[in-house]
């Protein structure tokens, strides 16, 4: 049996926030660091150029003791440098983040794309639609989904999203 790779994963949230506030979470150092990374991890932004073709460079750091222990047990580093760029940048409307996946042993580096659309909704809410494009195999694509869903729980708590 072969692994079928899902071409994209769409995750949608409606938050009681304005587009400017959500946009800042993706495009400012403080905003990005406040939520990026699955539970038990944090992002330390090294560089963020919020503009078309602007750079994004951060370290993904295991910071919860159980995650640090799990990473060490798997023989993985507790911190990984991540680099990308804003390949599309339309303030408060849409951004596309293209990240270079160059940290997986035995896997040729490749680009991974995250599309984010910010759509005004009723009652002062904003729909944030995130499209994650496939990784190099089904297992990594599933891990990507789980990790991103985990990190969204940080925003869910902040904005009171209940599904």
The token pair that represents 63 in the structure block: 């910071």
Task: Label residue 110 by pLDDT band (50, 70, 90).
Answer: confident
CB proximity list for 38: less than 8 A, separation 6 or greater: 146, 147, 148, 150, 151
Q: For 29-71, what is each residue's pLDDT tens digit?
A: 999 999 999 999 999 999 999 999 999 999 999 999 999 999 9
The DSSP symbol for 93 reads: T
pLDDT at residue 9, as a whole number: 87
Under DSSP, is residue 135 helix (H, G, I), strand (E, B) or coil? coil
Spell out the domains of the chain, with CATH numbers in brackets: 8-39+85-159 (3.30.530.20)
- How far apart CA 150 and CA 72 sit, in angstroms, is 20
**pLDDT for residue 133 is more than 60:** yes
- Residue 18 pLDDT > 90, yes or no? yes
Q: Collapsing DSSP states into helix, strand and coil, what is residue 73?
A: helix
Tell me the pTM.
Answer: 0.88
Q: What is the mean pLDDT of the chain?
A: 90
Phi, psi of 124 (to 5 degrees): 70, 20
Q: Cα(136)–Cα(118) distance, rounded to whole angstroms?
A: 27
53 vs 56: CA distance, rounded Å: 9
Quick check: 120 and 108 in contact, CB under 8 A? no
Of the pLDDT bands very low, low, confident and very high (cuts 50, 70, 90), residue 3 is: very low
Q: What is the pLDDT of residue 135?
A: 73
Q: Is the pLDDT of residue 5 over 70?
A: no
Is 37 in contact with 153 (CB distance < 8 Å)? no
* Assigned token pair, 65: 């003791």
Q: Is the predicted pLDDT of residue 104 greater than 90, yes or no?
A: no
Closest CA to 41 of 143, 160, 162: 143
What residues are paired with 9 via a beta bridge?
A: 132
Q: What's the mean pLDDT in 99-122?
A: 90
């Amino acid at each position: 049996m072969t692994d079928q790779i899902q071409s994209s994963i769409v995750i949608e949230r409606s938050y009681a926030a304005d587009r400017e506030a959500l946009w800042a979470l993706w495009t400012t150092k403080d905003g990005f660091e406040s939520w990026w990374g699955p539970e038990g991890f944090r992002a330390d932004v090294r560089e963020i150029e919020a503009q078309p073709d602007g750079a994004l460079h951060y370290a993904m750091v295991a910071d919860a003791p159980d995650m640090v222990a799990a990473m060490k047990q798997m023989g993985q580093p507790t911190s990984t440098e991540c680099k990308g760029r804003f390949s599309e940048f339309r303030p408060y409307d849409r951004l596309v983040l293209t990240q270079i996946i160059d940290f997986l042993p035995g896997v040729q580096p490749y680009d991974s794309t995250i599309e984010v659309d910010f759509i005004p909704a009723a009652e002062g809410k904003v729909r944030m639609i995130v499209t994650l494009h496939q990784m190099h195999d089904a297992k990594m694509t599933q891990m990507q989904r789980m990790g991103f869903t985990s990190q969204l729980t940080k925003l869910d708590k902040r904005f009171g999203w209940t599904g």
